[in-house]
Amino acid sequence: MSEKAKLILPEKTIELPLFTGSEGEKAIDIMKLRQETGYVTFDPGFGNTCPAQSKVTFLDGDNGILRYRGYAIDELCDKSSFEAVSWLVLFGELPSAAQSAEFAAKVAKYSRLPDGILKLYDTMPKETHPMVLLSIGLSALSAYYPDLCDPKNKEQVEEATACAIGSMLPLVSFAYCRNQGRAYVYPVDPKSSNASALLKMMFGNLFVVDKDVEDVMDDLLILHADHEFNCSTSAVRLVGSSQANLFASLAAGVNALWGPLHGGANQAVVEMLLAISQENVDPEVYVSRVKQKDSGSRLMGFGHRVYKNYDPRATIIKKTCDKVMSKLGTDDPLLKIAQSLEKAALADPYFTSRKLYPNVDFYSGIVYRALNIPVEMFTPLFALGRLPGWIAHWREQNSDALNRIGRPRQIYQGAVKRSMT
């Protein structure tokens, strides 16, 4: 950090250190800005704020690049599995066969939920959204595993990591079962993949998991495994910065993910497509309507806070969508509407000039529909995929010597001092 940036203020001029990331991202170190000048930075939404350095994921939104620990997302989907990618995201390298087997055995110890959590699920109204149950279940792990709640204890952190990963699959699956009034069923084969076990727990052990369908579900989990400092990951990090335990921090991530502007976006896409279908609106007409600000119409699944190019995950999911539709013989009219919307939008300078391209949510909901997964389960499945990333960032933050409790500053714009007399 030998280079400096010069900041000229009315009262003084100071120099701020500059540094560069391994992929060329440039940063200005403002850690001492307020201390030296009395100023803070104003950055709504933290779009220009980097709270920490990380080694987990590289994202280049301008060029449509996404890599986990250096590996391109398309290569991981083609050549790896969600289990191996989870290890990669957590520990930095792809696992050996011995490491995979050892970790699988460790995770398996927590693959059955404490009976109390299932009883807790059963106390909720049947129509309770699965994300509510998932948040409750993760928080409850702190009660059932109090000896895994010290973020400063390395052995506890390792065991809590295995516990969270082992518990997440049944927490997600049984949240669906509770919502649908189905019995809680664990898979007969304890060595089945996460993708296969998920479908078995959701639909019962008699459900035949087609290999191509299993691969599609595996890809969807891989695609969601991490995505830099997004809203839910930042929530996990912020809560974790207070030295809250892993389970409490993960529950915060679930709650952040539930928002329609984050993990709930693919549900919003399906709801948009259903509305277009029910109104029998021509997709090109709908795209024209979107450009009219007072129309109330929005093109969900297009554009991204970071990507200013085609989301690389969307490219993979689009291929996946065609594959699963063909395999299952599904003729979903929503797919045709989505394809027509994409074609119309990408041919319109209004969208391309604003760099609004399909994102990961545009096609993922259609894939889930083809697998007979209801819309209320879209976000819990997102959470299942994102779990390794959340844990990796929580662990990385806790081992960072520069880690401090998150505490943003404000610019007060309220009433000045006044008296009640």
Query: How do the domains of the chain map onto residue ranges?
Result: 4-50, 72-258, 265-370
Return the HEC string of the chain: CCCEEEEECCCCEEEEEEEECCCCCEEECCCCHHHHHCCCCCCHHHCCCCCCCCCCEEEECCCCEEEECCEEHHHHHHHCCHHHHHHHHHHCCCCCHHHHHHHHHHHHCCCCCCHHHHHHHHHCCCCCCHHHHHHHHHHHHHHHCHHHCCCCCHHHHHHHHHHHHHHHHHHHHHHHHHHHCCCCCCCCCCCCCHHHHHHHHHHCCCCCCCHHHHHHHHHHHHHCCCCCCCHHHHHHHHHHCCCCCHHHHHHHHHHHHCCCCCCCHHHHHHHHHHHHHHHCCCHHHHHHHHCCHHHCCCCCCECCCCCCCCCHHHHHHHHHHHHHHHHHCCCCHHHHHHHHHHHHHHCCHHHHCCCCCECCHHHHHHHHHHCCCCHHHHHHHHHHHHHHHHHHHHHHHHCCCCCCCCCCCCCCCCCCCCCCC
pLDDT band per the 50, 70, 90 thresholds, residue 365: confident
332 tagged catalytic: no
CATH 1.10.230.10 fits 265-370, yes or no: yes
Identify the active-site residue in 215, 224, 361, 393.
361
CATH 2.20.28 fits 4-50, yes or no: yes
User: pLDDT digits over 105-158, tens only?
Assistant: 999 999 999 999 999 999 999 889 999 999 999 999 999 999 999 999 999 999
pLDDT band per the 50, 70, 90 thresholds, residue 229: very high
User: pLDDT digits over 264-301, tens only?
Assistant: 888 888 899 999 999 999 999 999 999 988 888 889 88
Is residue 327 pLDDT above 90, yes or no? no
pLDDT band per the 50, 70, 90 thresholds, residue 334: confident
Identify the active-site residue in 218, 304, 311, 393.
304
pTM: 0.92
More confidently predicted of 375 and 90: 90
224 tagged catalytic: no
Thinking of the domain 72-258, which architecture would CATH place it in?
Answer: Orthogonal Bundle (1.10)
Is residue 357 pLDDT above 90, yes or no? no
